Amino acid sequence: MADWEVVRLGEVTRSFDARRSPVKAQERVAGPYPYYGASGIVDYVDGYLFDGDYLLVAEDGENLRTRKTPIAFIASGKFWVNNHAHILQGSEKANAQYLSYLLRCVDVSGYLSGSTQPKLTQAALNSIQVKIPDRLSQDAVVEVLGALDGKIAHNERMRDTALSLADAFYESSATSPVPELIGDLAELFDGPHATPHKTETGPWFLSISSLKNGYLDLSESAHLAEEDFPRWTRRVQPQAGDVLFSYETRLGDAALMPPGVRGSLGRRMALLRSKSAAVSGALLLHAYLSPVFQEEIKRRTVHGATVDRLPLKEMPGWRIPLPAEGERERLSAKLDALHAFVTQAANESRTLADLRDTLLPQLLSGKLRVKDVVRTVEEVV
């Protein structure tokens, strides 16, 4: 790359913060348009403020310090934005998508204010200094990294389609459900009641935030020190096909444990392990996620002063809806195949994300040239 220049963000972007408009949750009307906050979509509403491609940057929140999720991202199409995200567009000098990648690597800690709640004011955002190449070079970097992000987004859409199909198969096969005692169908285990030391690598220490309506999002979990793993799995080590669920907060969330993952149950998590080959973990999962059983969860929830929970000791005596016995094995096979596809898509996306995150700082610093990585990217997308 050539023609690198040190600029302030305010010199190469245009701000649209004046058009932001927060709407209280109780005043929102459900609709098709994304409603964005500091870290992404927080709701869907019946109107929009923006139509086009914009760069959104978090204005406040602890994520500005922890950086667990990107502080900058692109919003496209018609959408609404509250007052927790700055809204920018690029210019002839700066590709907005390139800036979103760049802000993943920039240390913004020196630009933050607020002792308890970190805040990145508009003035502070505009003053952030970055080093950028010429616009054509930026566009080339965006094309390469965007190909990886595009494939990841495609995998996510295919994953969601597979999960929707699995739900539809279950619902169509359980039109006359047979209520079965959970204790007859599965073993129940709960997880640890303390938080262990976490590390950069090692077995997964799973989190309730990783339970995403049927699939396990490992990006939401941390790693556990290898030497601590035996202690945290003394009671039970999750196995492929186990149904993981939350018994405190986020009640009703559940996911299937994928194959090839070494991990420990996190705090406030439990699992169901099927006792029968005729009722696979995937079938048990979709019975758990069914509207009928979700209503049962609401009815059985114990409401505490600070947290709601499920009474685990009573759960084996609850009834869960399953299709007739003659349908179970056939449906299990269908659902297992769909969840195998979900696992394959997730594994591929993690590989692509690792490649993107490896290339990202090297391309943005000029240590790698686009032409040096094009073939590598083409091979995986």
In SS3 terms, 81-96 reads as: ECCCEEEEECCCCCCH
- Write the pLDDT tens digit of every residue in 296-319: 999 999 998 889 999 999 999 999
192-221 pLDDT, tens per residue? 877 888 898 999 999 999 999 899 999 889
Please give the C-alpha separations between residue 286 and each of 93, 254, 257, 293, in angstroms, as whole numbers. 50, 9, 13, 10
Token pair 């009928």 in the structure block, residue: 292
- For residue range 274-283, what is the model confidence (pLDDT) as tens digits? 999 899 999 9
Q: Which helix (H) or strand (E) holds 29?
A: none
Name the band, by pLDDT with cuts 50, 70 and 90, for residue 3: confident
What would you measure as the largest C-alpha separation in the chain, in angstroms?
Answer: 70
Q: Do residues 356 and 177 make contact, with C-beta atoms less than 8 angstroms apart?
A: no
**Nearest CA-CA partner of 86 in 116, 61, 110:** 61
Number of Cβ within a 10 Å radius of residue 321: 18
Give the strand pairing for 72-81 and 30-37. Answer: parallel
| pLDDT computed for residue 2 by the predictor | 56
From residue 300, alpha-carbon distances to 46, 221, 294, 310, 356 in Å are 34, 28, 10, 7, 45
* Domains of the chain, earliest start first: 5-133 (3.90.220.20), 159-339 (3.90.220.20)
**Nearest Cα residue to 134 out of 366, 360, 326:** 366
Is pLDDT above 60 for 1? no
Q: How many CB atoms lie within 10 A of CB 109?
A: 10
Average pLDDT, integer, range 160-171: 95
